[in-house]
Amino acid sequence: MADHLEPPTKPVGPSTLAVHGGEPRSKPAHALTTPIVQTATYTWANTQELKDHFDGKSEARIDYGRYGNPTQRIAEAKLAALDSAGDCLLFASGMAAMTTTLFALLSRGTHVVVTADSYRRTRQFLNQTLHRYGIEVSTVPPGDYEALEDAIRPTTRVLVSESPTNPYNRVLDLERFAAIGRQHRVRTVIDATFATPYNARPLEWGVDFVMHSATKFLGGHNDLLAGAVLGSRDLIGGIRALQATTGATVDPFAAYLLVRGLKTFALRMERQNANAERLAEFLAAHPRVERVHYAGLPSHPGHDIAKKQMRGFGGVVSFEVRGDLEAASRVVDACTIPYIAASLGGVESLIEQPAIMSFYELTTDERLEIGIKDNLIRYSVGIEDADDLIADLAQALERAFA
């Protein structure tokens, strides 16, 4: 029997890949599930075995916990299979994955271009932290490919963007983005946390690196912190070497939880995609809702490109109610099913107002300058019954405007 799931003559579906991809058929102690290898250090039979390891004469293995873990390696292999990647590297969080990757790709005197709708912590890291190390950053408007290309300099090394974006679900033309990078010999990085490999695989469109906050849809249960970067084996190898120095590794138990969560990943995404689409359609027709931001709606500016490069449109719906900050708060408070919480992608529905969750420290004018409206609500759709979620939203909108 093969040790790994052998590639069949016909590609397997996403759920089969989620259950079996990346895992050996035979596991220690004949266990069905991937075990947690809870250790910080590893032993050697003798000094010759150690020498052979460092000389590359023996099978690759791990010699210290900061360099990896067998449970982590299984989670990485599973994610690589799901994302059609040559390799995957796990981190302690999504931001650890992003920051370590950027540190590996950039150095003093280099330049990076980022789209204005990329994750705010990524932009903060670029503009505040890396600026102190002599790295220059240009920020360009979302969807403006001419501005993106014009911003590239001889010192540019990386283009950074996100698709779909948080919270407006803007969709990037991945093929065009990757082509710009190749033309100028610049590496391309996409944060695909909202999309997940179920809905989009940026690497297949020519992007060099894809990032995920595995805390979200990949883990799926709001019970772990992890991040991942995926790409070719050579590119990921360089980042793995830096991680061994910085130490931003994922712990074995979190890796185990990620493997377990990924078993139901495709099922969860199918349900969350369907639920989110129904909620978006309901909200788009509601008289108390001013605008809905969901790429599955034909009215969304990124709908056509999303249909081209995505299997589904994701599990997050953002919408603007007719009113102000207080009106949006009344809607949020009147909901009885979703929890008020940060994060997204778990089986439980979550709801929040970006203006007072992630951007509370800013004034209204400062929030508007970066596109965060006071009446904006972000709804991370879980796997509950869509009819129940819609009924709950209906009563919340009714009560909020009574």
Do 376 and 242 have their domain in common? no
Quick check: is 6 in a domain? no
* Counted domains in the chain: 2
- Same domain flag for 343 and 230: no
Dist CA 177 CA 199 (whole Å): 18
Per-residue model confidence (pLDDT) at position 284: 98
CATH code at position 116: 3.40.640.10
Tell me the pTM.
Answer: 0.93
257 and 269 part of one domain: no
Domain C-terminal end among 234, 263, 292? 263
Note whether residue 1 is domain-resident. Answer: no
User: Are residue 259 and residue 273 in the same domain, yes or no?
Assistant: no
229, 263, 297: which is the final residue of a domain? Answer: 263
In this structure, what CATH number is given to the domain that contains residue 365?
Answer: 3.90.1150.10
Which among 211, 243, 263 is the end of a domain?
263
Same domain, 273 and 232: no
Residue 5 lies in a domain: no
Are 346 and 233 spatial neighbours (Cβ–Cβ below 8 Å)? no
- 278 shares its domain with 387: yes
Is residue 390 a part of any domain in this protein? yes
Residues 329 and 252 in one domain: no
Q: DSSP string spanning 374-397?
A: TTEEEEE--SS-HHHHHHHHHHHH
185 and 308: one domain? Answer: no
* 357 in any annotated domain: yes
pLDDT in tens, 346-369: 999 999 999 998 776 676 777 777
pLDDT, residue 2, reads 46
Q: Are residues 22 and 164 in the same domain?
A: yes
Residue 64 is given by DSSP the state B
**Is residue 67, in this structure, part of any structural domain at all?**
yes
Taking the C-alpha atoms of residue 2 and residue 189, their distance in angstroms, rounded to an integer, is: 35
Shared domain check, 196 and 326: no
- Do 285 and 337 reside in the same domain of the chain? yes
Q: Are 89 and 248 in contact (CB under 8 A)?
A: no
- Host domain of residue 269: 265-400
Residues 395 and 317 in one domain: yes
Confidence (pLDDT) at 150: 98
In a domain, 192, yes or no: yes
The pLDDT tens digits of the residues spanning 260-305 come to 999 999 999 999 999 999 999 999 999 999 999 999 999 999 999 9
Q: Which residues of the chain have pLDDT under 70?
A: 1-10, 360-361, 363
Is residue 2 situated within a structural domain? Answer: no
User: What is the Cα 306 distance to its own chain's centre?
Assistant: 17
